């Protein structure tokens, strides 16, 4: 219930102004976001890769309705990729892109062109791009952009949300040679007509989706902090004779860092999703919605001021 309220608030301009207005909010946001600028993000990249993890960088921003802002987001990605090149990390540092940040809500063709520019810069930097998945209304458009991008940039990946009823079938198409798919539970408020809404239903759907990915020929990216699902992923990988390097785990910056380190120590590839930038509101609210304890932490910070 609280989660649904927070997800609704994540899209409300009024709530955005109220939450962003608290002076202490920034301190709480810092738990989930690497910083406001590219320099902060690069510091996090050095620290995390130095500790044996890999990263995917997200320049924060979404639901852009302004063509100039969409073009600015593309520039930010290209300059980040230029900065990554001399670090020589290759695919140990890639980028994640929300198509709605680069024009998807304005014009499908604009989003495709912009994503193509980012993919070209990523290729020049020796790395890859993964498309985030946003709410269910964007899935067809995102998968269509993915198909077009993969013609020129075959390593482009995509996130798929287990909570959506359609995803198992989408994954049967996606789990092919060379394809990179990040499986997530899903972070958006969705109607029951298109999505499983109960936790245990989403978990069961996640397992079904994992099975499709692990049995397939692609590269599964298992994005969850859920111990049980991490265990199931390891078991399914074993059952399907997958070597360690033929799939990876992914977790969000600042969440379950102990588990990230533990999996990496055990020889798994672990990629940390590192968001940075000043447009943190939507991302932050989704993190609060996922876990009521985060709201308590936020409220305690307000009180302690």
Point out which residues bind ligand FDA (CB under 6 A): 132-133, 159, 161, 182, 184-188, 223-226, 250-252, 255-256, 273, 287, 290-291, 294
Of residues 133 and 210, the one with the C-beta less far from ligand FDA: 133
Complete DSSP assignment for 237-300:
HHHTT--GGGSEEEEETTSSHHHHHHHHHTT--EEEEEEESS--HHHHHHHHHH-HHHHHHHHH
Report the distance separating Cα 85 and Cα 87, nearest Å: 5
Choosing from 132, 135, 170, 203, the catalytic residue is 132
Cα 231 versus chain centre, distance: 21
Q: Whose Cβ is closer to ligand FDA: residue 116's or residue 186's?
A: 186
State the nearest-atom distance from the C-beta of 240 to ligand FDA, in Å: 21
Nearer to ligand FDA, 56 or 103 (CB): 56
Whether residue 133 is annotated as binding a ligand: the answer is yes
Question: Which pair of structure tokens corresponds to residue 171?
Answer: 């994954």
- Minimum CB–partner distance for residue 31 and ligand FDA (Å): 8
Q: Binding residue per annotation — 127?
A: no
Q: Is 180 annotated as a binding residue?
A: no
Q: Is there a binding annotation on residue 286? A: yes
Closest to 56 measured CA to CA, from 157, 134, 146, 178: 157
**Minimum Å distance from CB 186 to ligand FDA?**
5
Question: Nearer to ligand FDA by C-beta: 67 or 140?
Answer: 140
58, 92, 170, 182: the active-site residue: 182
Query: Which residue's beta carbon is nearest to the bound ligand FDA?
Result: 225
* Cα 49 to Cα 271: distance, rounded to the nearest angstrom: 9
Does 217 carry a binding-site annotation?
Answer: no
Q: Is 169 exposed, middle or buried (0-12, 13-18, 19+ CB in 10 A)?
A: exposed
Catalytically annotated residues? 132, 182
């Amino acid at each position: 219930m609280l989660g649904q309220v927070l997800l609704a608030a994540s899209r409300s301009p009024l709530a955005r102004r109220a939450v962003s207005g608290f002076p202490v909010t920034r301190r709480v946001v810092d738990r989930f976001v690497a910083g406001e600028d590219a320099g902060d993000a690069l510091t996090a990249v050095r620290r995390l890769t130095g500790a044996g993890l890999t990263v995917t960088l997200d320049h924060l921003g979404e639901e852009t309705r302004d063509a100039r802002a969409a073009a600015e987001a593309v520039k930010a990605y290209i300059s980040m990729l230029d900065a990554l090149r001399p670090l020589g990390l290759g695919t140990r540092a890639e980028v994640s892109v929300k198509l709605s940040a680069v024009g998807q809500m304005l014009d499908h063709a604009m989003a495709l062109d912009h994503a193509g520019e980012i993919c070209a810069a990523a290729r020049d930097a020796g790395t890859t791009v993964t498309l985030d998945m946003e709410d269910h209304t964007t899935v067809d458009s995102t998968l269509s952009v993915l198909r077009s991008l993969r013609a020129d940039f075959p390593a482009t990946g995509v996130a798929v949300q287990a909570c959506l009823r359609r995803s198992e079938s989408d994954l049967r198409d996606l789990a092919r040679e060379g394809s990179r798919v990040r499986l997530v539970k899903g972070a958006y408020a969705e109607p029951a007509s298109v999505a499983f809404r109960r936790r245990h239903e989403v978990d069961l759907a996640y397992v079904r989706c994992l099975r499709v990915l692990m049995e397939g020929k692609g590269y599964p990216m298992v994005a969850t902090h859920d111990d049980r699902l991490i265990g199931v992923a390891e078991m399914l990988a074993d059952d399907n004779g997958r070597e360690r390097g033929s799939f990876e785990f992914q977790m969000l910056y600042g969440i379950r860092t102990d588990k990230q380190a533990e999996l990496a120590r055990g020889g798994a590839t672990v990629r940390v999703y590192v968001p940075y930038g000043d447009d943190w509101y939507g991302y932050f609210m989704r993190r609060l919605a996922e876990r009521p304890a985060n709201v308590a932490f936020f409220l305690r910070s307000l009180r302690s001021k």
